[in-house]
Structure 1
Amino acid sequence: MAFQPIVDAERRNVFAYEALVRGRHEEGAAQVLSQVTPETLYAFDQQCRVAAITGAVDAGILDTQAKLSINFLPKAIYSPLACIQLTLRTARETGLAADRLIFEFTENEQMISTDRIRTIIECYREMGFTTAIDDFGAGHSGLNLLARLKTEYLKIDMGLVREIEERPRNRSIVEGLVSMAKKLDATLIAEGIETEAEYHVLRDLGLRYFQGYLFAKPAFRSIPKAVLPQPRFAE
C-alpha cells in the first residue's frame, strides 16, 4: 500500500490517510487491478483491507489522530457482516479503533444493486465505521445514487476541480454541491488538487478537506507529511 493524506484546511493538519493499492515493486493500482479476476475478487478485497490497516499501523498512523480511508469493492461483498470480520479482527489486533476507519466506494463502478450498497453502508455504520462515495460526479449513477444512499463523505471527482479557477461552470457546479452537502449533512472532500489556484477557489467556496499532489504525493509503505498553502487572508 501507498498512503496519501487528506488534509483539514481549518485545523491545518492531516484528517485521514487514504490507502492506495500498489504492486510489490510499486506498480500502480490500474496494473494491479487488471490482474484481479471474478474468482479472486473476494480474496483480493479482503487482503487489501488487511494490508491497508497493517501497513498504516506499521507506518505510524497510531502516533497521529488521523483516520484511515480504505477503498472497498461492493461486488466482493456477499454478506456485509461476514465479510467485515477479518477487517474487524485486524483492526482490533493492531489497535486501530473502528471509528478511525472510513470505507470508500466509487460511483463509477457498475453496481449490481443500490439496495445492496445501502445494506453494506448501514451495516458499516452500525459497527462504527463511516463511508464515502469516491469520484463523485464522474460515475454512472450520480445524483440518483446520492438520493438513495446516505454516506458521511462525498469525494468530489478531480474532473470537477481541475483548473476550476478558469472554469466558471465547474465552479457553479461545485458551489451547488457545497449547498447540497450541507442540506444532506455530508462532508465534501475535493480530490486531485494540484495547484494553489484550485485550492484557494475551493476554500473560497467553503470546502475544508482536500487531497492531491499539492499537499503530498502517495508514499509507498509510509505516511507522508502534508504541506498546506498559506491562507491568502484570515480564514
Structure 2
Amino acid sequence: MTRIPLRNHAQHIQSDESCAICGDGAQLDFDFSYAFQPIIDIRTRQVFAHEALIRGPGAEPAPSVLERVTPTNRYQFDQACRVRAIKTAAGLGMQSRLSINFLPNAIYRPEVCISTTLRAAQAYGFPIGKIIFETVEGERIDDGKWLAEVFREYQRIGFSTAIDDFGAGYAGLNLLADFQPDIIKLDMGLIRDVDKRKTNRVIAAAVVGICAELGIKVVAEGVETRDELLCLRDIGVELIQGYLLSKPLFEGCMPDADIVLPL
C-alpha cells in the first residue's frame, strides 16, 4: 500500500478509497479473534496491560490469519483489528490497559483513520486512556519520522504509545531520538539468557537507564526463566511479559488475583 505523505494528503483525500472505508469498517472475507497476554508489574503485583494477539476464530495460530492479509485488504484488516480487540476486551470486563498492534505503513492520515477506533471505544465503553498502540512485531518501518508523526497524533488524542522489538532491526535509537513513546518493549532476542550473557545485560541496563531519564516505561518481553526475571528486576525492569508468568489467554484475561511471581 502506497502512503500519501501527510503534507500532500488534503488534495487527495476525497478520491482515496482507503479513507472512504475508514468510516464504515469494510468487512473482510475471513474471521479472526484474539488471545490476550498480560504484562505484569512485578513491583505492584498487578496486571499493567494485556497485549492483544491475533488468533483464528477457533484459537488457530496467528499465521493462519496473517496469511490472508494482502495489500488489497491490509487497511481494512488494520481497522477491523482495532475494533475487534476493543470489543473483545470490553466484553471480558478487562480492567487493565489494552495494547493493540497496528500497521504504521497502512495509515494514511492518523487524525482521520483513528476515527474507527474512537467510535469503537465509545460504543463498547472502553476508556481511550487505557488503550496503547504499539508497532506490530516484524513490521518494517520505512519512515521513522512518519511513525513519530503518527504517534504524536495518537498521544494528542489520549492514547498511549509503544515501540515493540526495541533494539531489533528497524526500531532503535534513531527512532527514539525522533520521538519518545510512553513505552518501549525490549526485544526478546536481547532478553534471552540475559542473566548469562554480559553483553545483553549491559545493553539492557543502558536502555533502562536512558528510558528512566526520558520518562519512558520499559517492558521486557519473552521472559521464560526465573533467572531472566531476577536479572531484569535487578537492572530496574518492572514490567514483564512472557511464558514464565502467563501464556496468551484465548479470549480471556488475567485478574490480579491470579498473578504468581517466582521471585
Q: TM-score normalised by the shorter chain: which range applies?
A: over 0.9
Residue 63 (structure 2) aligned to one of 5, 30, 50 = 30
Residue 108 of structure 1: CA displacement? 4.4
Is the radius of gyration larger for structure 1 or structure 2?
2
What residue in structure 1 maps to residue 123 of structure 2?
A: 93
Partner in structure 2 of residue 9 of structure 1: 42
- Identity of paired residues, percent? 45
Aligned to 1:149: 179
Give yes or no for contact 1:108–1:138 (8 Å, CA) kept in 2: no
Counterpart among 128, 141, 144 of residue 114 in structure 1? 144
1:35, CA displacement in angstroms?
1.8
The whole-number CA distance in structure 1 between the counterparts of 2:207 and 2:259 is 26
The residue number in structure 1 matching 2:208 is 178
> Structure 1-normalised TM-score?
0.92
8 Å CA contact retained: 1:5, 1:224: yes
Q: Please name the residue that 1:229 is paired with.
A: 261
Report whether the alignment pairs 1:71 with 2:104.
no
User: Please, what is the CA RMSD of the aligned residues?
Assistant: 1.4
Whole-angstrom CA distance in 2 between matches of 1:204 and 1:152? 22
Cα offset, 1:16, TM superposition = 0.5
Q: Secondary structure at the match of 1:165?
A: coil
Give, as a single letter, the amino acid of the residue that structure 1 aligns with 2:91: D
User: With CA pairs under 8 Å and 6+ residues apart, which has the higher RCO, 1 or 2?
Assistant: 1
Q: Is the 8 A contact 1:2 1:22 kept in 2?
A: yes
Task: Give the TM-score taking structure 2 as reference length.
Answer: 0.83
Q: Is the 8 A contact 1:189 1:207 kept in 2?
A: yes
Q: Give the superposition deviation at 1:27.
A: 2.1
Work out which of the residue numbers 71, 81, 97 in structure 2 matches 1:48.
81
Name the SS of the counterpart of 2:55 in structure 1.
Answer: coil
Please tell me whether the aligned partners of residues 141 and 170 of structure 2 are also in contact (alpha carbons under 8 angstroms).
no
What stretches of structure 2 of length at least 5 have no aligned partner?
A: 1-33
2:41 partner amino acid: D
Unaligned runs of 5+ in 1: none
Partners of 1:107 and 1:139 within 8 A in 2:
no
